[in-house]
Amino acid sequence: MKKSLLLLFLLSVSVFNAQIFEPVKWATSVEKISDSEYYLISTATIDKGWHLYSQDVPEDGPIPTTFIYDQQEGKINVIGNTTEEEGHTVDDPVFNMKIKFFENKATFKQKIEVIGEITKVMGTVEFMVCDDVRCLPPTEVDLSFKIGTSNASAETNTDDSPKLSNEGPQKTETITTTESVNATGSEKSKSRSLWAIFIIAFFSGFAALLTPCVFPMIPLTVSFFTKQSKTKAQGIRNAIFYGISIVVIYVLLGWLVSAIFGPAAMNALSTNVWFNIIFFLLLVVFAVSFLGAFEITLPQSWANKVDAQSNRSGLIGIFFMALALAIVSFSCTGPIVGTLLVEAAVGGNTLGPIIGMLGFSLAIALPFTLFAAFPGWMNSLPKSGGWLNTVKVVLGFLELALAFKFLSNADLVLQLHLLEREVFLAIWIAIFGALAFYLFGKIQLPHDSPVTYISVGRLSLGLLVLTFTIYLIPGLWGAPLKIISGFPPPMKYSESPYGVGFTKTGSTSSTSYVPDDALAAGGEVGEHGIIMFHDYNKGLAYAKKVGKPVMIDFTGHACVNCRKMEQFVWSDPAVLSVLKNDIVMISLYVDDKRKLSGDEIVDSKLKPGKKLKYIGQKWSELQTIKYKSNSQPMYILMDHQENNLIEPEAYNPNVQEYLDWLNKGIQNFKE
């Protein structure tokens, strides 16, 4: 996670989207094995938050790290393959495959045999790096290994670094940049994520408070403190310590989850097939328990031992009272706590489980503390009754719906297409529809009290659930369902990826009409039916013909956040209407490994002496030279003279801000 100081943030505003990132620095050394054999050692130092991919990456995945050594007309013999460290292997849902990557530092070794008289060995490494916000295009770096001196080293820079001299190790000139606004945005996004975890956990704790296992404990606890405390002040102190003890117990549980799994493991949870299947089964068990099939309880001996300790006087006894509450109420709180820990852990943030348990425990502790401190408030509490079981059943339906999110993750990674978007939504419609019938009293479960009438609160909740169920139905025919974006599979993982009624030349919606002349001019139907040009000159020529501004989309096949922008921002109806009707999009893939034709191969302006061989290299160099940036996604709005209409935009999941940026650029074009 990047941490940006305020000064760096302020400086970065002036250079927004005009930066060259250098997250990997390479150093070389030589290890002598015998008189004629050596290890060529290449060490990558990786900036925090970035990932360097392995040499062994499946086809259609990200660009693998690749080493090439100059054998200098037979003077050296390369023995075997370049070896690498263990690294981290995860099931990546974006590429739908197992991918190995390195963090912080990675060492690669190549064994060689020296045959002739040489003083150094030259080589190159091509690699690709990504972080949580961007992926950089494939980069090629020269390597120099000095032979004859053990552990001699030389440092290199990124793809546009000067070549190393032959006079031993020396640092090359680097480009100094500040943290980008995107990095700051990522930090803010993670901060917002923690706040979201806290708020959800707090309301979950409040829901747990209204279950049959917890709510009846409030008057018992209040009675204990009022009888045992000699003065009102002592009662308030004891009540506060009781609440603090509840918070400490649950936060300690969150800390244990973070300590046991660690950040790398927690980050892998969200993409690991077996973890997602296990979580699915676990949540189904929790849901069935809440629906009344059975109760999940801790061993009775635990409760007896803790309860015995709670009879001790003083603060120790109060702490064990809090622990007894946690154990006795486990049949109601356990499924909620388990779900919260799973959700917080798969976010990949070590603070997630701790923040989640803090929010949950505060919601539990506050009522106990306040009512114990002010027992007169007890008169305002509703009486226990069948409504407590209703709360429990509602939570069971919610657990069941959430379970299918994890099963969907596993299906996406394995690409089984068993739980496509339509099937997922059909299951949710059935679950929430059944919940609505339950709230209206049309369905009864074994532990429910007879429903003689429906309270205003229950009726209101039933209407809310029914409204949500009806909202889900158009999703079966391609509606984006922005309220639940991120829960169901993406639109492209669907029986009808572009919505029912879509065709390559048009659709049932006039705003989605695809003009034939755009296709004839070299355009293609892309994401959400948007016409995209992948050839810069053809796209610019068509824009001049139709009199519209140009949007350049610097993207990549392996760019995770490019896909996020396409799925969550471009799908917004207002944004989509602009992208389809008001601009001409030129989408340039900087990691396109298709070779350029012979007459298109030119000398690189960034790396003298090297040729641009691939289409992606051509677009990557264009972005670096013209826009002083090498990160994706990056969006440019320009006129027909290739002048910027507005400052470039990067990864920005805020739909309104992105729409405002589009409209401002278009307005500038018209003026």
Q: Of 349, 384, 419, which closes a domain?
A: 384
- Tell me whether residue 226 is in a domain: yes
Say how many Å lie between the first and final Cα of the chain, rounded: 42
pLDDT tens sequence across 342-366: 666 555 456 777 888 888 888 888 8
What's the pLDDT score for residue 319?
A: 81
Average pLDDT over residues 79-89: 87
Q: How confident is the model at residue 294 (pLDDT cuts 50, 70, 90)?
A: confident
Q: Of 384, 405, 436, which closes a domain?
A: 384
Contacts of 247 (CB under 8 A, 6+ apart): 358, 361, 362, 365
- Tell me whether residue 7 is in a domain: no
Looking at the fold, whether 529 and 612 belong to one and the same domain comes out as yes
Looking at the fold, whether 149 and 212 belong to one and the same domain comes out as no
CA–CA gap between residue 219 and residue 205 (Å, rounded) = 18
Neighbours of 644 (CB within 10 A): 15
Looking at the fold, whether 326 and 252 belong to one and the same domain comes out as yes
CA–CA gap between residue 566 and residue 582 (Å, rounded) = 17
Least confident of 29-43, 223-237, 460-474, 551-565: 223-237
Looking at the fold, whether 201 and 239 belong to one and the same domain comes out as yes
Average pLDDT, the chain: 75
Please give the residue that has the higher pLDDT: either 278 or 135: 278
What's the pLDDT score for residue 262?
A: 54
Is a pLDDT exceeding 60 seen at residue 157?
no
| Single-letter amino acid code for the residue at 62 | P
Is a pLDDT exceeding 50 seen at residue 67?
yes
Looking at the fold, whether 76 and 135 belong to one and the same domain comes out as yes
Q: Of 368, 384, 400, which closes a domain?
A: 384
Is a pLDDT exceeding 60 seen at residue 156?
no
Looking at the fold, whether 98 and 244 belong to one and the same domain comes out as no
> 524 - beta bridge partners?
532
- Write phi, then psi, for 55 (nearest 5 degrees): -75, -25
Nearest to residue 102, comparing CAs of 61, 48, 142? 48
Is a pLDDT exceeding 90 seen at residue 336?
no
**CATH code of 146's domain:** 2.60.40.1250
Q: How confident is the model at residue 469 (pLDDT cuts 50, 70, 90)?
A: very high
Is a pLDDT exceeding 90 seen at residue 216?
no
Average pLDDT over residues 561-584: 86
Neighbours of 178 (CB within 10 A): 18
pLDDT tens sequence across 12-65: 333 334 456 788 889 999 988 888 888 999 999 998 878 888 988 876 667 789
Looking at the fold, whether 85 and 205 belong to one and the same domain comes out as no
DSSP string, 112-148: EEE-S--SEEEEEEEE-EE-SS-BPPPEEEEEEEE-S
- Tell me whether residue 505 is in a domain: no
135 near 128, Cβ under 8 Å?
yes
Looking at the fold, whether 84 and 193 belong to one and the same domain comes out as no
pLDDT tens sequence across 163-186: 333 333 333 333 233 333 344 444
CA–CA gap between residue 116 and residue 526 (Å, rounded) = 55
- Tell me whether residue 570 is in a domain: yes
Q: Residue 72 is inside which H or E element, if any?
A: none
Please give the residue that has the higher pLDDT: either 497 or 634: 634
Which residue's entry shows tokens 């943290």?
179
CA–CA gap between residue 436 and residue 388 (Å, rounded) = 17
What's the pLDDT score for residue 344?
A: 63
Is a pLDDT exceeding 80 seen at residue 451?
no
- The tokens for 473 are 């139905």
What's the pLDDT score for residue 492?
A: 65
Neighbours of 162 (CB within 10 A): 12
DSSP string, 138-205: PEEEEEEEE-SSTT-EEEE-STTPPPPPSSS--PPP----PPPHHHHHHHHHHHHHHHHHHHHHHHHH
The pTM (predicted TM-score) of the whole model is 0.47
- Tell me whether residue 406 is in a domain: no
**CATH code of 543's domain:** 3.40.30.10
Laid out side by side, the sheet with 66-69 consists of: 66-69, 120-127, 139-146
CB contact burial 535-559 (16+ within 10 A = b; e otherwise): ebeebbebbeeeebbbbbbbbbbbb
Q: How many domains does the chain have?
A: 3
Looking at the fold, whether 208 and 302 belong to one and the same domain comes out as yes
- Tell me whether residue 376 is in a domain: yes
Which residue's entry shows tokens 């034939």?
516
Q: Considering the chain, what percentage of its residues have pLDDT values greater than 90?
A: 15
Looking at the fold, whether 207 and 136 belong to one and the same domain comes out as no
Average pLDDT over residues 326-332: 69
CA–CA gap between residue 1 and residue 20 (Å, rounded) = 19
- The tokens for 293 are 């099939």
DSSP string, 601-622: -EE-SSSTT-EE-BHHHHHHHH
- Tell me whether residue 437 is in a domain: no
> 114 - beta bridge partners?
76
What's the pLDDT score for residue 625?
A: 80
CA–CA gap between residue 182 and residue 189 (Å, rounded) = 10
**Radius of gyration for the alpha carbons in the chain, expressed in angstroms and rounded:** 30
Rounded to the nearest 10°, the torsion over CA 180, 593, 519, 542 is 50
pLDDT tens sequence across 537-549: 999 999 999 999 9
Average pLDDT over residues 399-428: 84
- The tokens for 445 are 């479960």
Residue 59 CB-density burial (10 A; 0-12 exposed, 13-18 middle, 19+ buried): exposed
Is a pLDDT exceeding 50 seen at residue 328?
yes
Long-range contacts (CB closer than 8 Å, 24 or more residues apart) made by 482-491: 482/571, 482/572, 485/567, 485/568, 486/568, 487/405, 488/408, 488/421, 488/424, 488/425, 488/428, 489/408, 489/411, 489/412, 489/419, 489/420, 489/421, 489/424, 490/421, 490/567, 491/421, 491/528, 491/567, 491/571
Looking at the fold, whether 531 and 617 belong to one and the same domain comes out as yes
Please give the residue that has the higher pLDDT: either 658 or 453: 658
Average pLDDT over residues 624-630: 78
CA–CA gap between residue 546 and residue 518 (Å, rounded) = 10
| Single-letter amino acid code for the residue at 630 | N
Average pLDDT over residues 397-403: 87
Is a pLDDT exceeding 60 seen at residue 264?
no
Q: How confident is the model at residue 572 (pLDDT cuts 50, 70, 90)?
A: confident
The pairing of beta strand 51-53 with beta strand 97-102:
antiparallel
What's the pLDDT score for residue 663?
A: 93
What's the pLDDT score for residue 664?
A: 93
Is a pLDDT exceeding 80 seen at residue 189?
no
Looking at the fold, whether 569 and 651 belong to one and the same domain comes out as yes
What's the pLDDT score for residue 92?
A: 67
Laid out side by side, the sheet with 76-84 consists of: 76-84, 105-114, 37-46, 24-32, 153-156
Average pLDDT over residues 201-221: 74
CA–CA gap between residue 409 and residue 251 (Å, rounded) = 28
What residues make up the domain containing 43? Answer: 22-161
CB contact burial 602-617 (16+ within 10 A = b; e otherwise): eebebbeeeebbbbbb
- Tell me whether residue 250 is in a domain: yes
What's the pLDDT score for residue 3?
A: 34
What's the pLDDT score for residue 272?
A: 61
CA–CA gap between residue 661 and residue 658 (Å, rounded) = 5
The pairing of beta strand 76-84 with beta strand 66-69:
unpaired
Residue 663 CB-density burial (10 A; 0-12 exposed, 13-18 middle, 19+ buried): middle
